[in-house]
Amino acid sequence: MPVESGSSSSASAARHPKQKRKAHSLSIRRTNSTEERPPGMHRDMLEGQDSKLPLSLRNNLLDLFGQIEREFENLYIENLELRREIDSLNERLTGDGQILEGGDPNKGALKAKASHSTSQLSQKLKTTYKASTSKIVSSFKATTGSRAICQLLKEYVGHRDGIWDLGITRTQPVVLGTASADHSALLWSIETGKCVLRYAGHAGSVNSIKFHPTEQMALTASGDQTAHIWRYMVQLPAPPPQPDATASCDDDPDLSDREDGDLDGEGPGEVPTIRVATATLKSHQGVVIAADWLVGGRQVVTASWDRAANLYEVETSELVHTLTGHDQELTHCCTHPSQRLVVTSSRDTTFRLWDFRDPSIHSVNVFQGHTDTVTSAVFTVGDNVVSGSDDRTVKVWDLKNMRSPIATIRTDSAVNRLSVSTNQRIIALPHDNRQVRLFDMNGVRLARLPRSNRMGHRRMVCCSAWNEENQSCNLFTCGFDRQAIGWNINIPALLQEK
């Protein structure tokens, strides 16, 4: 910033009054000092001195100086008394066998005590810092010393729009199901990557797909405000040889995107197509965003943008209960694998646990652990619920005490529909930033799936699903890049324990 030519003289002029006041203050201290002033000097002697000040002004100044002198005298007397008390305390402490420095108040017992307390606090902080740093470093060493192996096995390409959801059939033959914004749901051969069946009964985006626990039936939810139940029969082709290429979970050589036109593979082609549902559930007044089977497969639950979840009888398609209470649109619903429990997620930053175990009492609990949209909440085999949110966190909850999460995972991107493996209890997190990360139930990061311009997702990853019955292809992910991917995830036992 430029300085004007007159600034130097102005600054010098501004300093002169301060220097004068300082010199004047020193003069006042010398004039009123009881040590330097002769004992016989009195007010009348001062008044007799030559002065050019008016008499009234001079008298006022002398009165003020006298008051200042008396205040300093009182402070001096108090200081002497404090010195005596300190000397007395030092003598007592010395008599008790403590080594102290002389009577100087700056080096006496008070300073020694303060120094001791400060030393203790400093030592405590150092110990805490070293322990925390050691813990972080040891965790880092454990992770890097025993890396998980994540192998991309198969890409399932054929949808003409983004894939919102996927699921694995629970009956033989085991196939992969995908739900897409192109108004269709496709069934795939896991081994060959070929489409074996197409469902085209919806008039809107297919937002979720779930399979019956014991029968060859699928449940799909759609933007056409309905959920469909449809039966399927598939015939699988012979599997091709397995590739032997592997990739480390932390390899990320190139994050550039391929163009949409460069997608490998072709469309579903001439595959069997189902166009009529076995049952249509149509009591919602908005988009049906998700649906799931209750344990036993006799009832289903649907979640909608009309802020309600509905419970239906499968055999009659009758609406049994309407679950209301959320303040904004629902985003997901999930059922417990062995109990009549339902959890619904919403944009209102909450998820709700609905209990249907007692036919006469239908209780609900509201949980407010997130600060943004809860994109999904799922049950685990044990007594846990895992919730993911657009606030970039994932929380693990204990069903027996849902007041606060038992673990919190913080990420760098919003979390979409997550899944938890049954056997290893590993959480697979699909992110908006195209990444997929794996964590254990304690919130420890285990791996990140490889992603580059040659492999992995090139758009937002919408959903993940585990398939632990298959020793080879045990994790599936799908995204808005129109493809689903099958992975082989090998987590060393040592890494899981860490």
> Is 324's pLDDT higher than 70?
yes
Partnered with residue 152 across adjacent β-strands are 487
At residue 456, the pLDDT reads 93
Inter-residue contact 375 to 416 (CB < 8 Å): yes
Structure-model confidence comparison of residues 246 and 81, the more confident one: 81
d(CA 218, CA 291): 10
> Is 238's pLDDT higher than 90?
no
At residue 118, the pLDDT reads 52
Structure-model confidence comparison of residues 57 and 129, the more confident one: 57
From the centroid of its chain, how far is CA 369?
A: 11
pLDDT in tens, 46-87: 555 567 788 888 888 888 888 898 888 888 898 888 888 888
> Which of 94-103, 428-437, 473-482 has the least mean pLDDT?
94-103
Structure-model confidence comparison of residues 266 and 175, the more confident one: 175
Q: Which residue has the tokens 């399979």?
A: 211
Partnered with residue 150 across adjacent β-strands are 489
Give every strand in the sheet of 309-313, ordered side by side. Answer: 288-293, 299-304, 309-313, 319-323
Question: pLDDT-based confidence at 242, cuts 50/70/90?
Answer: low
Partnered with residue 155 across adjacent β-strands are 485
Q: What is the mean pLDDT of the chain?
A: 80
Inter-residue contact 337 to 328 (CB < 8 Å): no
Pairing of strands 195-199, 273-274: parallel
d(CA 189, CA 165): 17
Residue 191 sits at φ, ψ, to 5 deg, of -75, -45
pLDDT in tens, 215-225: 999 999 999 99
Tokens linked to 32: 């009123």
> Is 26's pLDDT higher than 60?
no
Contacts of 146 (CB under 8 A, 6+ apart): 492, 494, 495, 498
d(CA 288, CA 208): 9
At residue 495, the pLDDT reads 53
Tokens linked to 370: 């997130």
Residue 64 sits at φ, ψ, to 5 deg, of -65, -45
In order of their start, the domains of the chain are: 149-497 (2.130.10.10)
> Is 139's pLDDT higher than 50?
no
Question: pLDDT-based confidence at 43, cuts 50/70/90?
Answer: low
pLDDT in tens, 415-429: 999 999 988 899 999
Query: Could you give the percent of the chain with pLDDT greater than 90?
Result: 54
At residue 121, the pLDDT reads 52
* Element (DSSP H or E) covering residue 79: helix 55-95
At residue 12, the pLDDT reads 42
At residue 136, the pLDDT reads 47
Sign of the alpha-carbon dihedral angle for 251, 254, 260, 262: negative
Structure-model confidence comparison of residues 465 and 43, the more confident one: 465
> Is 184's pLDDT higher than 80?
yes
